[in-house]
Amino acid sequence: MFLKEFEVRWSDVDANRHLANSAYINFMSHTRMAYLWKIGFDHKTMAVNQIGPVVFYEHMYYFKEVFPGKPIRVSLEVMGVSEDGMFFEFHHNFYDSEGRNVAHCEMMGAWIDLKTRKLTGLSEEWLEQFTAFEKPEGFRILTKEDTRRFAKRPKHLTEA
């Protein structure tokens, strides 16, 4: 499991004076990029290879409020990867300064080829780097169908 700690700043708080939804999203994004950098997927490497991560969805579950003044830790676990590395699923947990789990997020994404603007698998070298982690309980090999399990377009948008 990868962990990143954040200070909850005044600008991270909403009108209810607790951590805003947008702050949770930003903390998760920062945690993901820190994890990718740690395993060798930094901005320079992604730019040279013309590849970037995209988010399909983030499902948040909130358990307790978070207030400014104390740090928050955000975890990342890789819960799934497709055989070619194109698709990935990350789970994030948020822990308060006393170690209590205050929120959980399930996120799914993929890699996009920045030249063709199409989803792409990883090269053998990158796939080896991306999958060189201890598999947590519940880890699975993803398929394209897994990326669509929550996708339901409104009927009026599909009738064109």
Number of domains in the chain: 1
Give residue-wise pLDDT tens across range 83-141. Answer: 999 999 999 999 999 999 999 999 999 999 999 999 999 999 999 999 999 899 999 99
List pLDDT tens digits, range 45-98.
999 999 999 999 999 999 999 999 999 999 999 999 999 999 999 999 999 999
pTM of the model: 0.89
Give the per-residue pLDDT at 148.
Answer: 76
Looking up tokens 């996708």, which residue turns up? 151
Q: What's the CATH number where 19 sits? A: 3.10.129.10
Q: Which residues pair with 92 in a beta bridge?
A: 105
Please tell me the distance from the alpha carbon of residue 130 to that of residue 22, in angstroms, as a whole number. 27
The pLDDT score that the predictor gives to residue 39 is 94
pLDDT tier for residue 158 given thresholds of 50, 70 and 90 = low
Give the range of the structural domain holding residue 141, as residue numbers without chain letter.
2-158
Q: Beta strand pairing status for 2-7 and 71-82?
A: antiparallel
Cα–Cα distance between 4 and 70 in angstroms, integer? 14
